[in-house]
Amino acid sequence: MSRRVLITGANGQVGWHLQRTLAPLGDVRAIDVDQVDLTDLNAVARTVRDFAPGIVVNAAAYTAVDKAESEPELARTINAAAPAQIAAECARTGALLVHYSTDYVYDGSKPAPYEELDNTAPLSVYGHTKLAGDQAIQASGCAHLILRTTWVYDIRGKNFLRTVLHLARKKDELRMVGDQHGAPTWARGLAEATAVILGRCLQQNSASGKWPSGLFHLTAAGRTSWAGFAQAILEEYQELRPEDGSGEFGAPLKAKHVVPITTEEYPTPARRPRNSVLSNSQVQAAFGIMMPDWRDQLRLAMQDALRR
């Protein structure tokens, strides 16, 4: 079995961290849109074929949730057709495909955390295209790990954490949706958990010649609302920020408080699930993964940012 690992979406939040966490596993090649156009399915297949990896980690996706409502075909090509092409190549060679999915495949009407066997019912184009990608991978016959996660953020890139800090420097008060709930998940924590899972997959493959395969939820533990997440960001920032700090992760904030509002008070082109909390029980049972609480992850992320 080849110890080559191909990462797509290298410059994304998760992909950037994967390059570091997966480096000990073998010969890692990370590519982004400047190396392969995900809308060119022949180029996608050729890239996988030429590198001949034993593992492909697909961290690339069309993630502009609201914009997808007006670009459904582009979102479907990147989120469904491209993963299907990668899966076909993996099925041909026996490689393992790791693919990241989303809580947006659910409609959010369940009061309890979602389990892997719960019915899917996406509310948005983005959710529909991500579900189509999951289904194409499952139908391909390739060994696969589909990891559904939620509310991913990082200290780099475009995401909720950085948006909150940007707004808090300009406004005296922030207004954020308080009736949608999920588990904010740090991209580095997700990449580190992926590395642990793949290490155990490699052990199993070495022992049996087979890959484990299935769909799993993988998020931080606990739950909060967008308003609660924003308030926690302000609190952690204020507590950890050095008094003489400057720059993006050091300058003082004007806003100290977040006012929760309803989904109806903040209309968006794409509908979001009210409940995005996913259960990690299956990934814990299969791989021994214990994800930390979202607030603990947030503090580690902020500490990492303020050290820079």
Residue 143 within a domain: yes
The total domain count for the chain is 1
DSSP-derived letter for residue 69 is G
Six token digits for residue 237: 């920032």
Mean pLDDT computed over 265-290: 95
Residue 239 within a domain: no
User: How would residue 222 be classed by pLDDT, with cut points 50, 70 and 90?
Assistant: very high
Domain that holds residue 152: 4-158+183-221+276-293
Using CA atoms, how far apart are residues 275 and 280, in angstroms rounded to an integer? 15
Mean pLDDT computed over 140-165: 94
pLDDT tens profile 39-69: 989 999 999 999 989 999 999 999 999 999 9
Residue 241's nearest CA partner among 188, 135, 154, 165 is 165
Residue 261 within a domain: no
Query: 158: Cβ–Cβ under 8 A, 6 or more apart, which residues?
Result: none
Instruction: Identify whether the C-beta of residue 229 lies closer than 8 Å to the C-beta of residue 260.
Output: no
Six token digits for residue 82: 């491209």
Residue 67 within a domain: yes
Look at residue 249 and tell me whether its pLDDT is greater than 80. Answer: no
Ranges assigned E (strand) in 211-306: 214-217, 224-225, 258-261
pTM above 0.85, yes or no: yes
Residue 127: its pLDDT value, please?
97
Residue 303 within a domain: no
Of 33-37, 125-129, 157-161, the range with the lowest mean pLDDT is: 33-37
The CATH number assigned to the domain holding 209 equals 3.40.50.720
Residue 244 within a domain: no
pLDDT tens profile 64-100: 999 999 999 999 999 999 999 999 999 999 999 999 9
- Does the annotation mark 126 as catalytic? yes
Query: 184: Cβ–Cβ under 8 A, 6 or more apart, which residues?
Result: 150, 151, 153, 160, 220, 224, 229, 294, 297, 298
Q: Classify 28 as helix, strand or coil.
A: strand
Q: What is the DSSP string of 83-143?
A: HHHHHHHHHHHT-EEEEEEEGGGS-S--SSPBPTTSPP--SSHHHHHHHHHHHHHHHHT-E
Active-site residue (options: 106, 114, 126, 153)? 126
User: How would residue 244 be classed by pLDDT, with cut points 50, 70 and 90?
Assistant: low
Residue 172 within a domain: no
User: How would residue 35 be classed by pLDDT, with cut points 50, 70 and 90?
Assistant: confident
Residue 218: its pLDDT value, please?
97
In this structure, the strands spanning 4-8 and 27-31 are parallel
In sequence order, the β-bridge partners of residue 177 are 261
Residue 142 within a domain: yes
Give burial (CB, 10 Å; 0-12/13-18/19+) of 118.
middle
